[in-house]
Structure 1
Amino acid sequence: MKNSTFLLKMKLTMILLVVAFLQVQAKGYSQMITLNQQNAQLEDVFVEIMKQTNSKFVYSSTMLKVANPVNINLTNVTLDEALELCFEGQPLTYIIDEDNTVIVKMKELPPPPVKGVVMDEQGNLFAFVNVMVKGTTTGTFTDEKGNFTINAAKGSILVFSFVGYQTLEVTVGDGPINVVLKGGINVLDEVQIIGYGTTTKRENTGAISSVKAKDLSKQPVSNFALALQGKMTGIVVNNSEGVGSSVDIVIRGLNSFGSGTRPLFIVDGVIINAANTNAVYSSYVHGTSPLGALNPNDIASIDILKDADATAIYGSRATNGVVLITTKKAELGKTRVNLDMYTGFNKATYMPKLLNTEQYVAMRKEGFTLDNRVPTESRAADLTNLSPWKENAYTDWTKYEFGNNAPIMNANIDMSGGTKGLSYYFSTGYLKQYDIQPGNPYQERISSRLNLSSISMNDRLESTLSVQYSADKLKPTQVATNIVGGVRFLPPNYPLYTDQGDFYWGSSTSFNFANPEASMTQKVSYLSSNLLMSANFSYLIFKGLKAKASFSYGNQGNESEKIVPSTAINPKSSFVSTPSSSSYFGNYSSLNFEPQLTYNGKISDGNISVLVGSTWFKGSSSNRSLDLTGFPGDDFMGSWGFANTVQLKSSSRADERFRSYFGRVNYNWGQKYYLNLSYRRDGSSKFGDNYKWGDFGAVGASWIFSDESFVKEALPFISFGKLRASWGVTGNDQIADYQYLNLYSADNVNYGTAIGLNTQYLYNEDIHWEQTKKLEAALEFGLFKSRISGSVSWYRNRTTDFLVSEPITSQTGFSSFVNNFDGTVQNTGWEFELRTSNVLTKHFQWRTNVNFTIAKNSLYKYDDLAGSAYADIYEIGKPLDIIRRFYVDSISTTTGYAKFRDVNKDGSLTSPGDLVTLGSPSPKNYGGMENIFNYKGFEFSFSVTCANQMVSNWFMGSSLPGRARNLPVQVLGNYWQKPGDQATYPRATSGLVSNTNIMQLTYANISNLAYNDILWFRLNNVSVTYTLPSNWVEKAGLSRASVYARGQNLMFYSPIDLGKDPQAQSASNGTPIKSWVFGVQLSF
């Protein structure tokens, strides 16, 4: 009871105190003021206000001398309202403290404009230099006489920059600012990543193309390789299927037709197994790409190493070039957080328009009429109007297959900061994007990265640690795998269901279709995980000598499952299968250790840099696949325990090892003459004892002729000029493991209770390294203070002893064996780069980047090609990937049949005797152009790519008019219909009626009629970004904020209507995807 009374008293006391406090506050703020004074002194107004309120004023009499007379007439206003009007137009301001005291002070006047002059090192006035107030969007440019004027407060920092010159920061003081810009840092002296080190663009003796994070960020791609399209010379990127599918990079052409053509991928020192993954399903013809596991937002730069000087340090794995990926590192200082989020949608780049039902049925009937046949249910149910077919029904199958607007969601957050003792960069990202095809196929990826750096107090020991993990889930579409040529080629009046609501498959085994709705009852999942770890340590032993050690580990795991229930099986097919489930498990891990010693010193008037090191590498791979059948029903197929039969379809395990020793010596004399020597000796477990080791190396040299006094005097407009050249030898060993050993595998044929063994392949103890000899010469230049800059390069690569799978007679018990051939593959080309600063004014800037490549790939030499198994596949002087087809000279104006060229004059159409070389799908010429416009806070850019190549058109793999498959509208008016017609395509036919019809159906749609050699253009990227003014952003507690809209792979132009996107690898594959996204970037 006593406690209750005490608590009641306390509550009443608190209530009374709160009421009293509110009364005091109300009294303080309820005092109203009435003023009516004309031409009064400000001090008199203060006195009147103090009479009407309990306020006090604190001020200096001297301060009031600059005050203006006051004219005021107010009735019953608050203190704040009265003061606001009193101080309006005054050079004074005020604040009110907690006890209602008004403190009067002078207004802070805006700082006077900062003026100054910018000159170059020769004392010349420097026009169009960019001047920015650091940390803000306030900026200007110097005029034609080098003068500038900018509003900046005392103590703020001005940043002076110009392409090709060192960026300079100057603190604003009391007087004008006159600066001298020194040549070189923006482009020429920025850091250039090379193998096992860094250099600068000025000092680099090799051929290296680079893309920075800013360029990558403009492109909304899930795989960084897609962002390289059209950005660099000598680089071709191929991708034409759905989200998450494979992406191939080819650097300076195909070097071999037997072993792999993939470049070497290295991420922060970790070697990536970039082989495309093909699991238990074939939704993507070319598999999926492990490169998609790397979040593009984490990448700081991508450097493509191309010539011998740049690649030879990697020896046996560098024939096809090297892709060095460097991720973002920590920035010292307080923690900074960046958030980037966007959403958008994917659409098809091209929607082929096909015949409507009326056009399709008319063409079908025309084929039967010309063949003198009558449509029946067994051969043409689509024309009989028998249920469930309806002659006037229509479905736009193109829209069904490619018409979806598939959403994209992407979010990335990163933070970095720290001190020299420990700095960090941490990021995490989430991506989910849907494919445009039916069934809601999608890719979902979660990734995280941690980079740590540390430098000891005495600056001798440096260490870094990098860890990246990503998990990728892919649900591919199952439509394209079950419809030959794609869903869009179904008859436009094809019914998905019977009248009873069941899946419709056709009327007979000779007239049946794979039902797309049924095919989507399959369940497919693909999971991958990627772990990359690297640790680097370096210790300065004494000035110039440093010891380094790098450790790296990578692990790539893949799992996939495909369930084919009874509902997805075509009962009308002549190849009826049973319900089944398939599973695949794969893993690849790598371990790498590289100790190194580096020395930097001076010899005479030159600088020398020496590197020696060694590599210990081990890679391990394992995979197995299972087939499960005999389930009691479709509902039980998700569990292995219900399978009646579990068969191990395949299983393998393999290890590969490398032991390498490498070195490099770089010497420059007077910072004008450079010499670079590199050497590597590799030992590989893929070759036998006699050929296990290979030697590779290169020499590169350059001369900066623009630094010669006679050039400066005679050609002063040349701000930079360099000649460079290189020659060297690299290698290739991209073949299966242990081809030199006689390996056995378990066989189903047993001897009693003993398990039988079977030879896996015919081994060859004498296989050895491929070798590629690379030669290059180049000119790099900068003109008019680098307002114009670029390069011209010529290269020639010759590969010998290429590793091939040589066909052999079946009497040996094998179909082929791996062997080295004494032949030569040659790649030659010219590469051009041009960068211009077109307009540089205070508020508007326009820059252009252009690159163009002329490339030629050929089989340069092959002894006794005519007598080899490749005589019908390759030609001397022609590309390795030539397209050889039957050739249609014309369409007969009398019969409407294709007239094939009889090349060997034997009176019949035979292969390979009548095949004609049409061309190559690899581009002969290709390039890209980017324009970047800046206006105040806006940045707008767009890039265009182009290529001249042989591409397939809609007719490739399609059908002749009249068959039970729909065709694009391009066929209308272009196929033969009556005697006298000058046609492009053969006449309509109902099917395999005669030998002539069979020949037409078999060969016409894979002849030259299905290909075009064209130059196409593509709007590859559009980006619009608006950066909000800094004063707006700071009020929200941010350091930077921007909004953007970006588009990728938006449209293409072809002078010939192909009926498909030129980058679609075949007419039956999916179409490339275009993307539009809208996002926001925030920095804290």
Structure 2
Amino acid sequence: MQKTIKLIVLAALCLNFTALAQHPQAKQPHNKQDTTTKVLNEVTINAGYYTVKQRELTGNITKITAKTIEKQPINNPLQALQNRVAGLEITQLTGVPGGGYKVQIRGRNSISSGNAPLYLVDGVTYPSSRINTANSSILGDASPLSLVNPADIESIEVLKDADATAIYGSRGANGVILITTKKGALGEIRIEGSTSYGFAQLGHKLQLMNTRQYLAMRTEALKNSGLSPSAADMDLTAWDQDKYTDWQDLLIGGTANISNSAVKISGGTTKSSYLLGANYYTEGTVFPGSFGFKRGGAHSNINFGGAKSPFKASFTASYTYSSNNLPSIEPTTNIVRTPNAPDVYDQYGNLHWYHNNLAIGSNPIANLLNTTVSKGDNLLANADLSYRILKGLILKASIGYTTLKREELSKLPNAARNPATNPNPANRQSQFGNISNSSYVAEPQLTYEHKIGAGKLNALAGLSFQESTAQYRNIFAANFSSDELMENISSASVFSINENSYTKYKYTAVFARLNYSLKARYYFNLTGRRDGSSRFGPGRQFANFGAVGAAWIFSDEELIRRHLPFLSFGKLRASYGITGNDQIADYQYMQLYSGSSSYQGSPSIYINRIANPDFAWETNIKAEAALQLGFLQDRINMQLAYFRNRSSNQLLGTPLPPSVGAASIIANLPATVQNTGLEFETSVGLISSKKWNWQTSFNFTLPKNKLLSYPDLANSGNATSYIIGQPLDIRRYYNTYVDPQTGVYVAEDIDGNGLRNDADRYLYKFMGQVFYGGWQNTVQYKSFSLDFLISFVKQNGNSLLSGIGLSPGFFLAASPVSNQPVALLNRWQNPGDATDIPKFSGNIAGFTNFGIGSKEGSQSVSDNSFARLKNVSLSYQFSKQWLNRLKIKYLDLNLQGQNLLTLTGFKGLDPENPGSLASKLPPLQTLTIGLKLIL
């Protein structure tokens, strides 16, 4: 109720604020959603080095605009793309703000190299690897895009096939994501402001045993093991048998407050335009304490040159600062704490370490004193210059620079430990980590456009120069004399460098594109690129890539027009090409030595990596064919695409004999990975009238990944990890079951040798998404607009059992995290019982046996499919007549939600990325109310 009151009060304050504005009248902005049916000739697609009308596309590019992004209460641009783009798989790895994402375009291409797409922000290469050190493992791989403000984005284009990505050469092997920020526009001075406030909470709780159920489980477990409760079984002998603590509610049941504010001023004439904006975003956490994420920044753009000016220039710059204060240890790991464990505080409000003079093990609230504080800033600048030499001949240059820096301090103070057992100053430990990543790119280009008969020729040629440097440092310090001094590294007396690295990456390329259109219905596109990368050895640094694409708009043929009048648009297109992959660590082709402590009192070194001068590119051959159709004046549009990508020359670790001195050498093998799939997209204008408008769109992806070949796989180090003819994301399991007579897990002995070995792991399960998609709707009635997205995923993943740490009935006083899901009450109890849950056990033998089925057997995999109400946005646009009195151009009040409802058979916290039972915080349920106005 308090949260609701806060939102209502905020809305009222915002409305009162707008009444004070006194500015001239102007047209209200267009508020249609992406899914609104548009004439294809009007939709311009950014392909990176060039722009093209959607009608003329020979490749596969999907565009998401600011209208879609602004309707989502998100803190990372990747969230705006989830389940909205066919062929794009995005998995949120944690609900902690600033956390990581797994992003793949059309599957996993590489066995061991990088599979992340190339990110470009305003044409500048943007990091795709994590930006956190080992200090902040709670984030997973912290996403660099958390430093990009979604409200500054004008559009995001996702490039998928060879025709679209080959112009990026080796960098485009895994697809490309282009982010274009907002630019100044012609017109009078325009001031835009927006503010929103809301909260996020856990959307679903684990159904865990209450105290009565838990104690009955423990008693039954000891009985099954022939044991009686002892002093070590404090939950049964020393702790209150009637006490119950909901640890989920205590540790992750809080409310994360969210606020987001932005202001922007823009305007311009026919010869110049400008934009200047600022923003500030805060998001708390659901953990106890004052943890949270803050981000503030500024965005600017200035453009010179009119439509007929020979010289044009555009300068864009963005700066973002962020800070993140989080626990070092994920609090979610303690939600399965024993339900009758003593309170975390004693009667005096101090941290509780003893109960009846007996130590109670860890204290989950004390763990919150172990913190990681990070501060980061990001500067991104770009200049686009062009000069028209002759009619149709234009010289261009794009120059960009980005730098991203992050500092982290992780502390493990003695205040987080039992003072009676850990008073030693040496236990005070800090880690000081910092990352610096900078990159510049310069790309001169020459474009030429000329009409040839009934056709038009477009040519592009250019050079690309890029240099990136990355520094990573993590210093361990200990033996502080006081907890208060742990932020000062000079106060420590023990030091070690966990990692200290500096890498430089150089990249150069020459590229060209030739496009010819005939009669505005036949299109041919030829792309070529020669890349050079410093990540490969001498003689192997350069490679050639290219693609060809073609499209035929058959609906413009006279025969089709005459006999199929209901077909307003029809296009066939196809593409084929080769891209490369250099998404590997730097210097991998070189010999690497590491130092050991000493040998017979003298410093020594040993070989860590063997040099390989033949280290070369992975290659990816892409093919696609697609059919696009439009009916009833494009009120109904659909596209069906089939793709096949084959990645070969895989970079893999090859085992070496012990006599060599190194365990393996990274080399190219003729192993081949194939990704195929069907992508279906459709948009339909269901209703279009004066009062009502309803647009709906649907996307569906059916991917398939397969290891086509792997020479001598049986004798390689990956013999137990991969199977030829099966997906890369496959795992092998024992065929396990609960013996109906004994109640324990039994693994089928397929080879009959009486041992449990690799030969018995004959069951294989695909651990990934079988298909996925989304259904988007925009319903408008007068001034009201309702948008919602329902996402769906068919997938296999870790089962509820696989995430359980301690087996049901087992207890450790030092770490009492022994509660279990209520689903485990369906266990074996008597001979003849048929169930997948073994009998409760209180000894090591039962603990070990439980792991056979739940971690290595068929019980560790489950169907984790789900459908989710991913996004809802309800907005009201105030009437123009009322706004005219207030001298306001536009006023919109909106209510937005994210992850509001999930339907799934999975019994854990969240099916999207289940991991362990309680190892990480899942994506949160978010609700915000906001106001947007234009003066």
- TM-score w.r.t. the length of structure 1 is 0.80
CA–CA distance in 1 between the matches of 2:308 and 2:180?
Answer: 27
Question: What's the offset of the Cα at 1:957?
Answer: 2.7
User: 8 Å contact 1:1023–1:1044 — kept in the other structure?
Assistant: yes
User: 8 Å contact 1:440–1:477 — kept in the other structure?
Assistant: no
CA–CA distance in 1 between the matches of 2:180 and 2:388?
Answer: 23
Q: CA 1:572/1:1052 → structure 2, altered by over 3 Å: closer, same or farther?
A: farther
| Residue number in structure 2 paired with 1:29 | none
User: 8 Å contact 2:865–2:906 — kept in the other structure?
Assistant: no
Q: Could you tell me which runs of 5 or more consecutive residues in structure 1 were left unpaired when the two chains were aligned.
A: 1-132, 140-158, 166-185
| Residue number in structure 2 paired with 1:1013 | 863
| Residue number in structure 2 paired with 1:761 | 609
Q: Which moved more, 1:919-928 or 1:1052-1061?
A: 1052-1061
| Residue number in structure 2 paired with 1:1027 | 877
| Residue number in structure 1 paired with 2:829 | 977
Q: CA 1:739/1:333 → structure 2, altered by over 3 Å: closer, same or farther?
A: same
| Residue number in structure 1 paired with 2:892 | 1042
**Residue 926 of structure 2 aligns to which amino acid in structure 1?**
S
Question: What is the correspondence of 1:838-917 to structure 2 with a 5 Å cutoff?
Answer: 838-888=686-736, 890-910=737-757, 912-917=758-763
| Residue number in structure 2 paired with 1:1078 | 929
Question: What's the offset of the Cα at 1:760?
Answer: 4.4
Q: CA 1:138/1:1044 → structure 2, altered by over 3 Å: closer, same or farther?
A: closer
Residue 671 of structure 1 pairs with residue 525 of structure 2: no
Aligned to 1:706, what secondary structure does the other structure show? helix
Residue 651 of structure 1 pairs with residue 500 of structure 2: yes
CA–CA distance in 2 between the matches of 1:399 and 1:827?
Answer: 43
Question: What's the offset of the Cα at 1:1063?
Answer: 3.2
Per-residue CA distance 1:733-772 (angstroms, 9 max, x = gap):
11111122224466654999x9765544222111100000
| Residue number in structure 2 paired with 1:491 | 338
Out of 139, 146, 151, the residue aligned to residue 297 of structure 1 is 151
User: 8 Å contact 1:951–1:1062 — kept in the other structure?
Assistant: no
**Residue 288 of structure 1 aligns to which amino acid in structure 2?**
A
Residue 919 of structure 1 pairs with residue 765 of structure 2: yes
Aligned to 1:284, what secondary structure does the other structure show? helix
Q: Which moved more, 1:857-866 or 1:713-722?
A: 857-866
Out of 771, 775, 779, the residue aligned to residue 929 of structure 1 is 775
| Residue number in structure 2 paired with 1:945 | 791
Q: CA 1:748/1:522 → structure 2, altered by over 3 Å: closer, same or farther?
A: same
Q: CA 1:572/1:249 → structure 2, altered by over 3 Å: closer, same or farther?
A: farther
| Residue number in structure 1 paired with 2:250 | 400
CA–CA distance in 2 between the matches of 1:843 and 1:835?
Answer: 20
User: 8 Å contact 1:790–1:833 — kept in the other structure?
Assistant: yes
| Residue number in structure 1 paired with 2:91 | 238
Q: Which moved more, 1:736-745 or 1:1028-1037?
A: 736-745
Per-residue CA distance 1:886-916 (angstroms, 9 max, x = gap):
332x322222112222233322223x22224
Q: Which moved more, 1:1002-1011 or 1:202-211?
A: 1002-1011
Question: What's the offset of the Cα at 1:374?
Answer: 1.6
Residue 229 of structure 1 pairs with residue 82 of structure 2: yes
Question: What is the correspondence of 1:620-1019 to structure 2 with a 5 Å cutoff?
Answer: 620-744=469-593, 748-749=597-598, 759-888=607-736, 890-910=737-757, 912-958=758-804, 959-964=806-811, 965-992=817-844, 994=845, 998-1001=848-851, 1003-1019=853-869
Residue 342 of structure 1 pairs with residue 196 of structure 2: yes
The number of residue pairs the alignment matches comes to: 899
Out of 533, 541, 558, the residue aligned to residue 406 of structure 2 is 558
Aligned to 2:55, what secondary structure does the other structure show? coil
Q: CA 1:578/1:520 → structure 2, altered by over 3 Å: closer, same or farther?
A: same
Out of 446, 453, 461, the residue aligned to residue 597 of structure 1 is 446
Q: CA 1:932/1:867 → structure 2, altered by over 3 Å: closer, same or farther?
A: same
CA–CA distance in 2 between the matches of 1:662 and 1:755?
Answer: 50
Per-residue CA distance 1:283-302 (angstroms, 9 max, x = gap):
42622111111100011110
Residue 135 of structure 1 pairs with residue 38 of structure 2: no
CA–CA distance in 1 between the matches of 2:755 and 2:389?
Answer: 79
| Residue number in structure 1 paired with 2:10 | none
Aligned to 1:737, what secondary structure does the other structure show? coil
Question: What is the correspondence of 1:349-368 to structure 2 with a 5 Å cutoff?
Answer: 349-368=203-222
CA–CA distance in 1 between the matches of 2:306 and 2:792?
Answer: 50
User: 8 Å contact 2:35–2:683 — kept in the other structure?
Assistant: no
Question: What is the correspondence of 1:295-694 to structure 2 with a 5 Å cutoff?
Answer: 295-378=149-232, 380-385=233-238, 389-455=239-305, 459-480=309-330, 486-495=333-342, 496-497=344-345, 503=351, 513-569=361-417, 578-694=427-543
Per-residue CA distance 1:982-1010 (angstroms, 9 max, x = gap):
22201101121x4x652334553453223
**Residue 926 of structure 1 aligns to which amino acid in structure 2?**
Y
Aligned to 1:979, what secondary structure does the other structure show? coil
Residue 210 of structure 1 pairs with residue 63 of structure 2: yes
CA–CA distance in 2 between the matches of 1:162 and 1:1050?
Answer: 22
Q: Could you tell me which runs of 5 or more consecutive residues in structure 2 were left unpaired when the two chains were aligned.
A: 1-24, 812-816
User: 8 Å contact 2:477–2:496 — kept in the other structure?
Assistant: yes
Aligned to 1:913, what secondary structure does the other structure show? helix
Larger Rg: 1
Aligned to 1:987, what secondary structure does the other structure show? coil
Q: CA 1:268/1:825 → structure 2, altered by over 3 Å: closer, same or farther?
A: same
CA–CA distance in 2 between the matches of 1:972 and 1:767?
Answer: 51
User: 8 Å contact 2:28–2:889 — kept in the other structure?
Assistant: no
Q: CA 1:371/1:1027 → structure 2, altered by over 3 Å: closer, same or farther?
A: same
CA–CA distance in 2 between the matches of 1:717 and 1:845?
Answer: 22
User: 8 Å contact 2:793–2:866 — kept in the other structure?
Assistant: yes
**Residue 160 of structure 2 aligns to which amino acid in structure 1?**
K
User: 8 Å contact 1:352–1:968 — kept in the other structure?
Assistant: no
User: 8 Å contact 1:447–1:469 — kept in the other structure?
Assistant: yes
CA–CA distance in 2 between the matches of 1:654 and 1:318?
Answer: 22
User: 8 Å contact 1:667–1:674 — kept in the other structure?
Assistant: yes
CA RMSD, 1 decimal: 2.6
Q: CA 1:190/1:501 → structure 2, altered by over 3 Å: closer, same or farther?
A: closer
Q: CA 1:534/1:573 → structure 2, altered by over 3 Å: closer, same or farther?
A: farther
Per-residue CA distance 1:545-596 (angstroms, 9 max, x = gap):
0000111111010110011111324689999982111100110111111110
User: 8 Å contact 2:92–2:912 — kept in the other structure?
Assistant: no
**Residue 945 of structure 1 aligns to which amino acid in structure 2?**
S
Question: What is the correspondence of 1:260-299 to structure 2 with a 5 Å cutoff?
Answer: 260-284=114-138, 286-299=140-153
User: 8 Å contact 2:196–2:931 — kept in the other structure?
Assistant: yes
Question: What is the correspondence of 1:149-228 to structure 2 with a 5 Å cutoff?
Answer: 186-228=39-81
**Residue 416 of structure 2 aligns to which amino acid in structure 1?**
A
CA–CA distance in 2 between the matches of 1:883 and 1:926?
Answer: 21
CA–CA distance in 2 between the matches of 1:558 and 1:138?
Answer: 39
Question: What is the correspondence of 1:22-33 to structure 2 with a 5 Å cutoff?
Answer: none
CA–CA distance in 2 between the matches of 1:345 and 1:987?
Answer: 42
User: 8 Å contact 1:931–1:942 — kept in the other structure?
Assistant: yes
Aligned to 1:341, what secondary structure does the other structure show? strand
Question: What's the offset of the Cα at 1:520?
Answer: 1.1
CA–CA distance in 2 between the matches of 1:793 and 1:458?
Answer: 39
Q: Which moved more, 1:255-264 or 1:272-281?
A: 272-281
Out of 102, 106, 109, the residue aligned to residue 255 of structure 1 is 109
User: 8 Å contact 2:300–2:317 — kept in the other structure?
Assistant: yes
CA–CA distance in 2 between the matches of 1:295 and 1:464?
Answer: 20
| Residue number in structure 2 paired with 1:170 | none
CA–CA distance in 2 between the matches of 1:572 and 1:944?
Answer: 54
User: 8 Å contact 1:350–1:1061 — kept in the other structure?
Assistant: no
Aligned to 1:334, what secondary structure does the other structure show? strand
